[in-house]
Every structure is written in C-alpha cells, then in structure tokens.
Amino acid sequence: MTKLPHPAVTLLLALLSCDKGDSGADSAAAWRPDLACPGDAGCENNDGALRVGFGKQSITPICYESWVDVNENAEYDKNTDTVLDCGCDRLCPDDEGYPGADEGEGDGEFKAMWMGGFSENHPAMGSHDELWARVALFDQGSTRVAVVSLDLVGFFNEDVVKVRALVEEADLGVDHVLITSTHQHEGPDTMGLWGPSFGKTGYQEDYVAYVRSQTVKAIADAVGALAEVGEVKVGSALVEESHPRGQANFSRDSRDPVIFPDDVNIAAFYDTSGAVMGSMVNWGNHPEALSDENFQMTSDFVHYIRETVEGGSSWSNGAGVEGIGGTCVFVQGPVGGLMTPLGVRVQTPDGGEFSASTFEKAEALGVQIGEIALGALTSAETLSAPKLSVAQSIFFFPVDNFGFQAAFNLGVFDRQLYNYDPEEDIDEDNTPEVLTEVNVLTLGELQLLTVPGELFPEIAIGGYDGSMIGTDEYSLIKADNPNPPDLTAAPAAPYLRDEMAGKYRWIVGLGNDELGYIIPEYDFITHPDAPYVAEAEGDHYEETNSLGPRTQPILTEQATRLLEWSR
C-alpha cells in the first residue's frame, strides 16, 4: 500500500509550483489529436447527407433489496431499521404477483443499492422514474459518432473506454462514443464515494457492467433508427429573460462570484418528411432538487425536462406548450461553482410555489426549463448543410488531493493511476495521475466541447464583471462573505467558450469522465491546516472534491489546443 504523507501547507505550495501536465515539447504545428474524424482510418470523410438516429435503454437497477425507515429519520440504521430480505425483485411472499423466491431472498444479507451524490449509507428503497441511457447518433460519409447521456452521478473514463470496446465488438460501425452523465444525485453510486460507510466503496461492478451493456444496446437502437436528416434546428434562450424572477426561480450559485451558465440550448432533428426524430437539450444545474432525504431513484428535474420537450406541458390555469415528440437527450452543462436548486423557491405559471425538496419542486423546475427549450425552437436557426466532425485529446491530470489519494489506496475509486512509483512516498516529485480526455464535436454552426468534470461556469464564460448573474435577487459577491474571491486576480478573456467555433457553443459537463470540481486556479484556496480535508473559510467546499489547483490550467491548455486544431 502506498504510504500517504501528513497534509502540510509546504507540500501544497510545492504542488502549486509543479506542473506535470503536457510538457509542451510538441510544437503546435506538429501536434495532432488522438482521434480526428474525418481523417483517421475508418472515418476518412464526412461526404454526403447527414443521417441521425436516436435510441434509449433503461439503466434502472434490477437487482437490489429495499428497507423500511422504522424511526422515520431519513437515515439507514442497520440496528433499528428493517431490511426487506426479499431478493432482487423486492417482492415478498405476501406481495401481489409474488413469483417465488429469487436471488438473495431470505439469506439474511442486505443487497443494497447505495445512492450517490450526498452522503454514505444512503440505500435506495425503490424507483420513482426510469433511469436511462439515451443516445443521439450522427452519421455522415464514413464518420459515425454516438453522443450518450446517462442518468448517473458520474461515469469514469475507464468505464467509457470499456463501452467503446463493447461497441467495437458489436460491429456497429461507430467511430467514436462520447458519454456524459446527467449528474443526478438520486441514483446508484457509480463512482464509489457513497458506500455503506466512510472508506468503503459504493461502486458495484455488476450494476456498472449492466449500464455498459444497456448503453451498447441503446447505441445499437440508434444505429437501427438512422435516417436522413431533412432539417436541423438549433436555438438558445436565456433563463434570465424567461421568468420574472430570472435565474433565481431555477438555480442558486452557492459560491462567490455568482456566475450562471444562463442559456438553455436545444437542437431538434427532423427527417425528410418533416417529422421529429429527436432532440438534445443543454443546460447547467445540479439535478438534486430532491436533496438527501429521498430514497427513490430518479433522474430528478431532468426527467421532467425530457418529458416536456417530448410531450408538452399543461398547468391548472390552462397554460402550457405542445411538445415536439421524438427522443429527448439531456446534455449536462457546467455545474461547478456550485449550480444547485437547493434553497431555491420555484414559482409556476399557475401560481404554485415550491421550496421543499419534493418531486413537485423537481417537476415545477424541469417542466419550465423544458418550456424554455421549446420556446427557443420558435426562433431557432436552421443549420445549412451541416458537416460532422469529432476530435479527441487524451492527457493526464495530477491527483494532488490527499483525500482522493487515500480513496484510490482504499479501493473507493476503482481506476488506474499513472506516472508515479507506488512503492515510494507520494510527494511533489512522485504524484499519481489519472488519464482522461476532452472532445470537440462539430455539426456545422453547433459545437460541443466536453470537460471531464464539474466545470465552474466562469472558466467557460467569464462573467467577473457581474454580467452573468441573471437576476436582481443575487449579487456578484455576498456582503457577508468572510473570505471573498479576489476578482482582481481573475483571468481575463478569452474564456473557453470564446475559443469555440460556430454560433452555438455548448459546454458538456462530466464529459467522458467525472473528476470532481474544476476550479479557477486564482480562487483555489485550501484549509491552512487540513487541506482537502476541511474547507477554507468562505465557501471552499469544492476544493475538498477536486483533484487540485493544477486541474484548471491543464484543462484550459488541452481544450484550447484541441479547439484551435479543430478550427
């Protein structure tokens, strides 16, 4: 086992001064992405008509046991609460439709499905709505790319790579698979952080293998549904302009400076007969409206966004909009910072108001964002003969976070570390690294940039001048902040979105990985005595769940280089 050093400020200073990112040895002229389509073997061109297909498969867990919160304290206590030892199907002998004993039934063992996103020891009781693997597949010439959205808290890059291998084995003709997670906090722990107790993983390989398998089936469904595109409409609407309370009706930035990714983006794909095949919606907010007292698995407000875009909405006062049909794929945006509906008072068009962490609040929020997306289609632009391309850059991030180092050693995180000697002490000269990637997908005037974690919006859009607050109910810096960020040290433009091409520029959060918060280097502040373990004064929780201060500069370098090459 690797020996871990005692946390010290001197070590943090050493880490801040040491960059193990790309050495820059390759000149910009010589550098080439790890994947470039069209151009690479097998995806030589993007000639001819664009074809699109949509698919989806359930990834709702099918094998786990439920329990009863006997003292109704919204916590699982193995000494007082009752485990329903009824096997994978959760049907007990007295239940209607009981088919007989199944796997695990009556064995005295609790086969729990640990829910990820809030705390350890949070087992699921059941499901409120389906969790999905949803796919938008693009095909042009010899280039074929799948964009997958999983209703998960996160999906590690190693699992993404395994999905790609399975897709290749299935001979689906797909050149590249791009996977993002919705980051809902009410489903299975697919990362390991939220197991039965501190230091014990909640990651279950049998469930994640099921996710991988279902994802491949969803991609196969999309391949089978491929049809020539007659029209692609892309639109964007500002949340600030879509409700009297603006951003305050939907989200809260829990950390200064208050900067929101204010736009709700939508792309709708129509076949040659004019029928809708499917759509993609992009917006940045944590799907955690149900908070930590819910034990029913759900995709949270994302479920209601998709339902609204597909099927429309209605309110008790007769208001509502018509849906467009097809399959809606939600693509998460930049959510670091932290973008959250917790503490938000959601008002609806029919006079409803929801503050408590309930499904009613999740629905009120999601339906209205779905309506905003549909409204953006009314003034959407039709892309003219869009050309498809995708590029990928693979690189390393150093794991400076002591807590994360320990999580790897304890097996909480099930992924490989690189570029260090595990037999030696971890220090500034022997820091483990993780392998990850960024992708750029371009479809005419629409471009998507993936980032492998929870990006602070200001890294993408700036907003340090107060222009991205989106409501008069919030201020750029809270008056009572005891340790406000030094905005004089904040970076100037260009920001990531400035470096992107095309009129419509989407940041895809948790793209092909989930490596925690990606924090602006200037505002990365750790606790002076217990860095990464305790929070520094003034809302610095995110540092405890970040790889370290070198993450943002390396990401910016890698993403900028890939975007420049793509242009």
The pLDDT mean for the chain works out to 93
Q: Flag whether 539 is in a domain.
A: yes
For the CA atoms of 296, 262, 181, 89, what is the dihedral angle to 10 degrees? 20
Per-residue pLDDT reduced to its tens digit, 380-403: 999 999 999 999 999 999 999 999
Give percent helix, percent strand, percent coil of the chain, each to the nearest 5: 20, 25, 55
Both 272 and 366 in a single domain? yes
Q: Flag whether 151 is in a domain.
A: yes
Per-residue pLDDT reduced to its tens digit, 266-302: 999 999 999 999 999 999 999 999 999 999 999 999 9
How confident is the model at residue 22, as a pLDDT?
45
Per-residue pLDDT reduced to its tens digit, 82-136: 999 999 999 999 999 999 999 999 999 999 999 999 999 999 999 999 999 999 9
Pairing relation of β-strands 446-450 and 504-508? parallel
How confident is the model at residue 101, as a pLDDT?
95
Q: DSSP of 305-320, one letter per residue?
A: HHHHHHH----TTS--
Q: Looking at the predicted structure, is the pLDDT value of residue 25 above 70?
A: no
Query: Are the C-beta atoms of residues 25 and 31 closer than 8 Å to each other?
Result: no
Q: Flag whether 425 is in a domain.
A: no
Q: Flag whether 221 is in a domain.
A: yes
How confident is the model at residue 30, as a pLDDT?
83
Q: How far apart are CA 481 and CA 522, in angstroms?
A: 17
Q: Flag whether 80 is in a domain.
A: yes
Per-residue pLDDT reduced to its tens digit, 322-339: 999 999 999 999 999 999
Spacing of C-alpha 117 from chain mean position: 12
Domain count, the chain: 2
Q: Looking at the predicted structure, is the pLDDT value of residue 28 above 60?
A: no
Both 211 and 323 in a single domain? yes
Mean pLDDT of all residues in 350-369: 97
Both 104 and 167 in a single domain? no
Q: Looking at the predicted structure, is the pLDDT value of residue 143 above 60?
A: yes
The residue behind tokens 């099918």 is 62
Query: Are the C-beta atoms of residues 264 and 305 closer than 8 Å to each other?
Result: no
How confident is the model at residue 16, as a pLDDT?
32
Q: Looking at the predicted structure, is the pLDDT value of residue 308 above 60?
A: yes
Both 75 and 162 in a single domain? no
Cis peptide before 257 (omega within 30 of 0): yes
Q: Flag whether 124 is in a domain.
A: no
For the CA atoms of 87, 114, 343, 506, what is the dihedral angle to 10 degrees? -110
Q: How far apart are CA 333 and CA 312, in angstroms?
A: 23
Q: Looking at the predicted structure, is the pLDDT value of residue 20 above 50?
A: no
Q: Could you give the 3-state DSSP secondary structure of residue 266?
A: strand
Both 74 and 221 in a single domain? no
How would you class 68 by CB atoms within 10 Å of its CB: exposed for 0-12, middle for 13-18, buried for 19 or more? Answer: exposed
Query: Are the C-beta atoms of residues 506 and 449 closer than 8 Å to each other?
Result: yes
Both 98 and 148 in a single domain? no
Both 206 and 264 in a single domain? yes
Both 200 and 86 in a single domain? no
Both 103 and 226 in a single domain? no
Q: Looking at the predicted structure, is the pLDDT value of residue 355 above 70?
A: yes
Q: Looking at the predicted structure, is the pLDDT value of residue 145 above 90?
A: yes
How confident is the model at residue 10, as a pLDDT?
31
The residue range of the domain holding 183 is: 35-42+52-59+129-394+432-480+489-566
Per-residue pLDDT reduced to its tens digit, 442-491: 999 999 999 999 999 999 999 999 999 999 999 999 999 999 999 999 99
* pLDDT range class, residue 19, cuts 50, 70, 90: very low
The residue behind tokens 């693979």 is 394
Both 292 and 178 in a single domain? yes
Q: Flag whether 456 is in a domain.
A: yes
Phi and psi torsions of 212, nearest 5°:
-60, -45
How confident is the model at residue 325, as a pLDDT?
98
Query: Are the C-beta atoms of residues 15 and 400 closer than 8 Å to each other?
Result: yes
Mean pLDDT of all residues in 343-356: 97
How confident is the model at residue 262, as a pLDDT?
86
Q: How far apart are CA 532 and CA 542, in angstroms?
A: 9
Per-residue pLDDT reduced to its tens digit, 259-273: 999 899 999 999 999
> What region does 337 belong to: left with phi over 0, alpha with psi -120 to 50, or beta?
left
Point out which residues pair with 391 in neighbouring strands: 36, 440
Q: Looking at the predicted structure, is the pLDDT value of residue 18 above 80?
A: no
Mean pLDDT of all residues in 159-182: 98
Both 70 and 167 in a single domain? no
Mean pLDDT of all residues in 129-155: 98
Cis peptide before 178 (omega within 30 of 0): no
Both 442 and 503 in a single domain? yes
174-190 residues labelled b (16+ CB within 10 A) or e (exposed)? bbbbbbbbbbbbbbbbb
Query: Are the C-beta atoms of residues 426 and 483 closer than 8 Å to each other?
Result: no
Query: Are the C-beta atoms of residues 209 and 360 closer than 8 Å to each other?
Result: no
The candidate with the shortest Cα–Cα distance to 262, out of 283, 243, 244, is: 283
How confident is the model at residue 21, as a pLDDT?
40
Q: Flag whether 22 is in a domain.
A: no
Mean pLDDT of all residues in 223-248: 97
How confident is the model at residue 468, as a pLDDT?
96
CA angle 375, 381, 383 (to 5 degrees): 135
The residue behind tokens 């990112």 is 21
Point out which residues pair with 36 in neighbouring strands: 391
Mean pLDDT of all residues in 8-23: 35
Identify the helix (H) or strand (E) that includes residue 359.
helix 359-377
Per-residue pLDDT reduced to its tens digit, 404-455: 999 998 999 999 999 999 999 999 999 999 999 999 999 999 999 999 999 9
Mean pLDDT of all residues in 50-76: 96
* Cα Rg, the chain, nearest whole Å: 23
* pLDDT range class, residue 29, cuts 50, 70, 90: low
Query: Are the C-beta atoms of residues 167 and 177 closer than 8 Å to each other?
Result: yes
DSSP label at residue 221: H
Point out which residues pair with 278 in neighbouring strands: 269, 327
